[in-house]
Structure 1
Amino acid sequence: MIQNLLRYFIALISLSAIGLLAIDNFFIPMYVGTDTDVFLMDLRGESKDYAEEILLNNNLEVKVIILPYSKRHYPGKVVEMRPSPFTKVKKGRIITLSVAGNKKSIEVPNLINMTLRKAKIELIDNEFNLDTIIYEYNPNIKEGRVSLQIPESGTILKSGSNISIHISKGIPKDYFTIPDLVNLPLTKAIKVITQERLRVGEITEEYQPKLIPNTVIGQSFPANLRVNVPVEIDLEISTDKK
């Protein structure tokens, strides 16, 4: 009887041990993922090569994205990683590392006549920083568009360099536009000049027998020029007298 009980207890202990081993080596890994899961360590601030080595040693795949140069980050260092650090992932998962890029020589793009929004995008795409924005009146550039950039387009700079731009506020109210007076009769030309709040300057004659006398054949300022003071416009008119 005692021998039978002893055999029973020995058999029970053996079965319990086998059960515990099965749970530890099969059931727990199947549900928890001990053999297939990896906890990501924080590799931000580490070098690209070191981060790649750590991930590959943990049976993970690596994808590297080189970011534009920035003064905030040291070139070659990991800036960001996806998935985030301390996340549990499956082995074989692709881990994306965003790595700070080095400076490189880039030609400054032409920003003139671009909207501010488009100019900002253009600078980002070309790895430049927008420095100063100055708003000023400019009669030759539409309001809201870039009227000046420093440095000018075509200049070769290192990525991460600063670019300053001027944004046009359009035509100020006190600007005057030079009218087109050529081929107008003198009397009408004088009227147009007065209507534009400008002044009539010196009137000279030139012998042009094929034209009607007193026809404007020249003016001292080109048409459509914008000026900020009421200038005097000299006129040259035709005459049939030598």
Structure 2
Amino acid sequence: MSDNALRRYLEAFRASARKWGREAWAFLTSMFFLKNFAAMVGVVVLLGFFTFYWLTCYTRLGESVQVPDFTGMPLDEVRELAKARHFELVITDSVFIVGKEPGIVLEQNPTPLSRVKEGRTIYLTVTKSEPDMVQLPTLAGSYDYNQYARKLKRLYLKPRVKERVFDPKQESNTILYLFYNGEKITEEDLKQGVKVPMGSEIEVVVTERGANTVEIPNVVCMTFEEAAFTLTSANLVLGRIEEDDTVFDRLTAYVVRQQPAPSPGARIQMGERVDIWLSQERPAQCPEEGEEY
């Protein structure tokens, strides 16, 4: 391309650019463009404002409330407090705890004193009234009372020695059988599976080789004075004394019942208590004087 042709091309381009610039400026400064641009900006601003306002109302942006500490409180009080603070409550779990009243809050989520939006749902774990059923462990591996008692305590059961039976062939504290609510539970029963409510008392009959134990004396039909002497002579302690309405002279009143009751071979530790029940009238089933009961 010659120099003249190039010069003419550049001049034409400049002229075209100046014309386009004048037209563009005229359009951008025209009332039509300015009105429409202003309308668009207004729409965007209004849309942003309403969006922010809606989000603020819906989520309460920037607002939070402190979660009360509900742990240890009765459920009725928790409901009242939650209602006043506009919280929703959901019980997700319930646990039986020996000695605790039902309906006491144990855990909560969100945690106490944390900050959350108003209206938040609080998830609770509470105590329940009905105890869980637990299966009694078998005697496999050990018949020793102390070891078995530890197993029972881990299941939140309460072991107690009901009776000691003299047996020179076995070690002391060897378990013979159990009792729950007065019903005997044998080793075979345990193998088949026995369930009891958590917190129950389990009575255990164990062996005793004779050291520091005595046979339970039968003091029924004796007068109080005779019974007291018999128990003291056996190195036992006179425990609770219950009198019926007929008693007017304790020394001459008769023993109509005792606890623990005597039975063949039954022995108890020296120094243990024996409770007796008295009546002024001699029980009809008692033998005549001089006869053995």
Q: Which TM-score band applies after superposition, normalised by the shorter structure?
A: 0.3 to 0.5
Q: Greater CA radius of gyration, 1 or 2?
A: 2
> TM-score scaled to structure 2, two decimals?
0.32
Task: Give the TM-score, by structure 1 length.
Answer: 0.36
